[in-house]
Structure 1
Amino acid sequence: MSKRLTKEQRNTIKKCIKLGWSNASIASDVGTTPEAVNYYREKKLGKPRGQYNKTGKPAAKVTVAPAHIKNQTMRAIGKLQGPRILTFDIETLPLESYTWGTFDQNVGLNQIKTDWAALSIAAKWLGDDEVWYEDTRGKATIRDDKDMIAKLCALLDEADIVVGQNVKKFDLRKIRARAMMHGLPPFREPLVQDTMLMARSVGSFTSNKLEYLSKNLTDAPKSAHAKFPGFELWLGVMQGNQEAWEEMREYNIQDVIATEKLYLALRPWVRQHPNVAHYYDDNQRRCPRCGSVNLHNNGTTFRGVSEYHAYTCADCGGHSRSRFTLNTRDKRKALVTTI
């Protein structure tokens, strides 16, 4: 180690290790290196790291505790600054039903053999390197998704903002449905940033699909799951093919990484974004999109009959304005408006 850990750092590391945090997450929060945390973990505490590997694949049994408790702990000790932003994606299993054809079928309820269910879930906190992933591979049946849904509901309950591709129309509605079917309590509804709707509001892209947007706007394109193309991937999973399961895991995790990067690319351009400055316990002037204090004066801007200070964020590049008018009392009296 290049620097001795202070008593406060050691105590914080102990608490975080008990919660299952990774070396990288602990290091970023206590202000040291992952190597120093790993040394303290193994040499002083005798607890080798075994929670995650670098790809997000669980190396041991994964629980929701690290992500769920992390924000509460950091808030309690006064270190959490900014909103808790969660990007997530779910994959689902199809209905199994009886039909007499392959085109334009109207399936009645009594023709459904097996209902749909969640197959896998990946989720990531903004600012954290790790992706939480879980699937139903080890369950009695692959449609037993209750525990997995409960864990995601706990994450959603802790999130201030959730991010996802088509998350409003698909993922959140599916999660609510499965949670109710399992008798789970409602989670606290977070604010939602749907990257598909964000892209649609920003500009006229050729396509608003994740495949197109992530390829052209980020360095993390959506996975093509080429080994099991199209429905072959879901068919392989339902048949118990372990290679298909691994490809599903990689596909699900990559979707979350691609979606988060797409969100960050779109965020400076979006006008209807939650004001993240609310989530900081200070009175500093901050960018309403990313929370940065690196705002530069950019003259003034006019809205309606009022003039405001204009700012540009040096970190995300987004533009913003002050909330209070610069108009003098005499100016306000003199201005008239159209009818």
Structure 2
Amino acid sequence: MAVVAALFGAVAPVSMRWLAPMLLVHVVWTALFVRVFLRKQPLANWLVAGDVAITIALCLAQVNLVATEVLVTGSSWVAGLVTMTVVMAGVTWRPITAVPVGLAVAGAFAVGVGLASPSQSVLSTLGVHLVQLLAIVLLMTLLRRSAASADTFLRESARAEISLMVERLRREDELRQVGSIHETSLHTLTMVGFGTYDEPSRTLRAQVATDLSALDKLRDHPHTASVPIALDALLDEVAERATGLDVRRRLTPETVPGDVAERFARAVTEALANIALHAGVHEAELSSGRRDGEILVEIADAGQGFDQHRLPPDRFGVRGSILDTMRSLPNGGAQISSGDRGTRISLWWRP
């Protein structure tokens, strides 16, 4: 829109020698924004910083780019770009950066107008830009706080859901154990009742001892976190609930303590959520198995990678829900490898 307005308003004293190259640079930078939009990528700092630099240059060169009639009204195409640049800065950066940048852009616009028309007052236009800056900074501050609260709520909800899944699988395992013990004990008592053993039997004694030991164990540890559950069944359910992803699974049957399974499930849930939100793909792979005595779970995608060392502070999921969750587990760990060809997250635990 700025380019079209600039071309239609290209009357004296506008210089095409200035206008053409400046608009070309602006069009190229706009194409980079379109590329980001089509790929659903977050705005990169360098992209917004370049936009700021281009807008400041356009502001300072208004004497050669904007007709005097439009300059006087304060409705030039450069003024529109100032508004968009201030908004972009506020959306991308925290107030500590966005405010100085916004003031610099607004100041450059005022200086450019002063150079082009020294008698022209820019106080009203400058005031509009300052109000825009204040509004976008306040809006983004509220949105970021709301997003942080929502993220916390969703993390707690995910943890509660995983805990319920783990508890359900644990109860199913306990019921299977109870059913198995019941059938075995009942079989032993039935044989005794029918007189199968009419004299002391070493086999009967061993079977009764086994049944009593199993019953004692079930009585003494009915609901401990160490009760084993099927990790493959839990991960299969986690993958099934992943939103917006087709998760291909290669899961090896494995039984682990309940608290270990819960850590794996939390990390896998967060990893799949990150893929759906940030990787730009709709497919992922989830595998589990044994490696050098360790239980290994891997999540992989072919999307756009990221640098985990340059993640913003509000991206708690990777650090807290994946790395810290697994590394705080005794004999557990996690590693992330990411690049242009995708991301692979490895989670492990040694029994």
| Interval containing the TM-score (normalised by the shorter chain) | under 0.3
- Bigger CA radius of gyration: 2
Provide the TM-score with structure 1 as the length reference: 0.20
Larger RCO (CA within 8 A; separation ≥ 6): 1
Q: Which structure carries more helix by proportion?
A: 2
Provide the TM-score with structure 2 as the length reference: 0.19
